[in-house]
Amino acid sequence: MTDLFSPLRLGAIELANRVVMSPLTRCRAGTGNVPTDLMAEYYRQRASAGLIITEATPVCPEGHGYPRTPGIYTAEQISGWKKITQAVHAAGGRIVIQLWHVGRISHPDLQPNGVLPVAPSALRPAGQVFTGQEMKDFVTPRALESSEIPGLIASYAQAARNAMAAGFDGVEVHAGNGYLLDQFLRSSSNQRTDAYGGSKENRARLLLEVLDGVCAAIGSERVGVRLSPVTPFNDLHDEHPQETFEYVTAQLNRFSLAFLDLLQGMGGAPKEQWIPFDYERLRVLYTGKLIRNNGYDFASAQEAITTGAADAIAFGRLLLANPDLVERFRRGAPLNAPDYEKLYTGEEKGYTDYPFLAG
């Protein structure tokens, strides 16, 4: 019987089991947004998961929206990531990098030369951003010019090439969680009147063109994508999410991607508060391998795998606090609780100091 411990092939990537580490922003990068040796230890500790998807990683300097997030656009960053991929591979793991551009979820204090962040439309999101020194209100972004879009797509493609140079097994294009590609997808943030706005087909155009570029750069068998159809994170919503994301999901089939990473629900909100959405419909529409994400424990993950509802399950908080989560699942062992106060600060505290099982 296929279960959570069964091997799995995602495109060109062979997994020892179906436990996936969900992307988790941790803000531990060094000067120049270069990955550090501490980060290498963090990921090495979790290499028993079938696949690690790294923290979201900006594809260009303009893609940053938080302090100390590692990039994948300079030679120093590539070298830093190479230490991480080597550590994970030496421990028997597989690792892909999540390619990121935050769009309007930034601030001039985090942008090169203090410029405005870009977005599909000049609409200021509600909320605040941590600039590294203090919390500040989001600003009204600058609408991305259509003439700039080919350069943006090229940044994603080059980041994918850089990821291969750093030794990654593949990449995940981040098109969820209210960041730039998701901002283009959703009607609340995309009020463009050109070929990239209006209809669901137009709003999906940028994501599909980015995937064209990334797949051409490194091969579709090493490319995944994340979607989060109804998460309101970063002040987003869509007037017709079922229609929008059924269209997007169906369009993904032409790429023969390694996987689709589907973030269900609304972040940490209880399931009874989730916006209604038919995720099973996406499972029917998508012909490739599906990773489901958010709110799973061992029992519900096993059920999803054994019933065929998913091919793999991604865990965030559980793998953050339990680097040996796969072994704890095997033994039915107790789980460590996350230290939420140290999510984004504390260096090794709440990062590499979670205890492993004895023996």
Residues tagged active-site: 179
Q: Where are the alpha helices (DSSP H) in the chain?
A: 37-45, 75-90, 149-165, 180-185, 200-203, 205-218, 241-252, 279-285, 298-306, 317-321, 325-331
The tokens of 126 are what?
Answer: 């509600």
Q: CA angle at residue 34 from 31 to 40, to 5 degrees?
A: 120
The tokens of 265 are what?
Answer: 């629900």
The tokens of 26 are what?
Answer: 């941790």
Among 20, 193, 208, CA closest to 96 = 20
Ramachandran class of 320: left when φ > 0, alpha when ψ lies in -120 to 50, beta otherwise: alpha
CB 150: neighbour CB atoms within 10 A? 11
Among 157, 176, 159, 170, CA closest to 248 = 176
Instruction: Write phi, then psi, for 40 (nearest 5 degrees).
Output: -60, -40
- State the residue for tokens 């973030």: 263
Dihedral angle at the C-alpha atoms of 45, 166, 161, 171, nearest 10 degrees? 0
CA–CA separation, 209 vs 204, rounded Å?
Answer: 9
What letter represents residue 57's amino acid? T
151 secondary structure, DSSP code: H
Quick check: 335 and 323 in contact, CB under 8 A?
Answer: no
Among 80, 69, 76, 77, CA closest to 106 = 69
The tokens of 249 are what?
Answer: 């999901």
